[in-house]
Structure 1
Amino acid sequence: MRAFLTMIWLLFFALGAGEAPAQSFRHNGPIEVAIQSGSGGGADVFARTIARILEKEKLLSQPLRVVNNSRAAVPWAMAYLAERKGNDHVIGIFTDAWVATPLLREDAKYTVKDLTPLVHLLLQPSIVLVKADSPYATLKDFIDAAKKSPARLKQGGGPAQAVETQQGLLIQKATGVKWEIVSISKKPAKIADLLSGNSQIIIQEPSHVTDELKSGTLRAIAALTEKRISSLPNLSTAREQGVEIPFLANGRGIMAPPGISKEAIEFWEELFSRMVKTPSWRKYLEETRVEPYFLKSRDFGQLLDQQSALMRSNLQEAGAKVVR
Structure 2
Amino acid sequence: MSTDDNSQGVAGRRPREEKMKHYGIRALLGAAALATMTAGATPALAEYPVETVRLITHSSPGGGMDVFLREIGKHLGPIMGVNFVVENVTGSGGAAAMAEVVNGAKDGSVFYGATPTHIITSLLSAPPVTYEDLDPVVNFFNDPQTVYVLADSPYNTLNDVVDAAKANPGGVVVAVSTPGSLDRQVMEEFQAVTGTSMVVLTHDGGGDAVLSVLNGTAQVGVSEIAELRGQLDAKAVRILATYTENRVPGIGDVPTAREQGIDLVVSKFRGLVGAKDLPPEVIAAWEDGVAKLMEDPEFRKWYEAEGLENAYMTQAEARVARDEFVTSLKAFFEKFDIK
> Separation in 1 of the partners of 2:201 and 2:158?
20
Q: TM-score, normalised by structure 1?
A: 0.71
1:213 and 1:219 in contact (8 A); partners too = yes
Aligned partner of residue 259 in structure 2, secondary structure? coil
- Decide whether aligned partners of structure 1 residues 164 and 15 sit closer, same or farther in structure 2, where only a CA change above 3 A counts: closer
Equivalent residue in structure 2 for 1:121, among 136, 140, 160: 140
Quick one: distance in 1 between partners of 2:191 and 2:68? 32
- 2:80 counterpart SS class: coil
Letter matched to residue 291 of structure 1: L
Asked if 2 retains the 8 angstrom alpha-carbon contact of 1:54 and 1:60, the reply is: yes
Letter in 1 for 2:211: P
Question: Aligned residue for 1:254?
Answer: 272
Question: Given the superposition, is the C-alpha separation of residues 160 and 279 from structure 1 closer, same or farther in structure 2, using an over 3 Å criterion?
Answer: same
The Cα shift of 1:258 comes to 0.9
Alignment of 1:148-187 (within 5 A): 149=167, 151=169, 154-158=172-176, 160-173=179-192, 175=193, 177-183=195-201, 185=203, 186-187=209-210
Secondary structure, counterpart of 1:293 in structure 2? strand
Structure 1 residue 275: Cα displacement:
0.3
- Once the two structures are superposed, residues 84-115 of structure 1 have per-residue CA deviations (whole angstroms, 9 ceiling, x without a partner) of 68644543322443223333445x32222322
Structure 2 residue corresponding to 1:295, chosen from 301, 312, 315: 312
SS class of match (1:59): helix
Structure 2 residue runs of 5 or longer lacking an equivalent are 1-29, 204-208
Q: Which of the residues 233, 240, 260 maps onto 1:241?
A: 260
Shift of 1:281: 0.8
1:130 Cα deviation (Å)?
A: 4.5
5 Å matches for 1:81-160?
81-83=101-103, 87-106=107-126, 108-130=127-149, 137-140=156-159, 142-143=161-162, 145=163, 149=167, 151=169, 154-158=172-176, 160=179
Q: Is 1:270 paired with 2:288?
A: yes
In structure 1, the residue matched to 2:242 is 223
Determine if contact 2:294/2:310 at 8 Å carries over to the other structure: no
Aligned partner letter, 2:51: P
**Any unmatched runs of 5+ in structure 1?**
none
Matched, 1:189 2:212: yes
Report the Cα distance in structure 1 between the residues aligned to 2:259 and 2:243, rounded to whole angstroms. 10
- Over the matched positions of the two proteins, sequence identity in percent amounts to 22
Matches within 5 A, 1:205-224: 205-210=224-229, 213=232, 218-224=237-243
Larger Rg: 1
SS of the counterpart of 2:113?
Answer: strand
Alignment-derived partner of residue 11 in structure 2: none
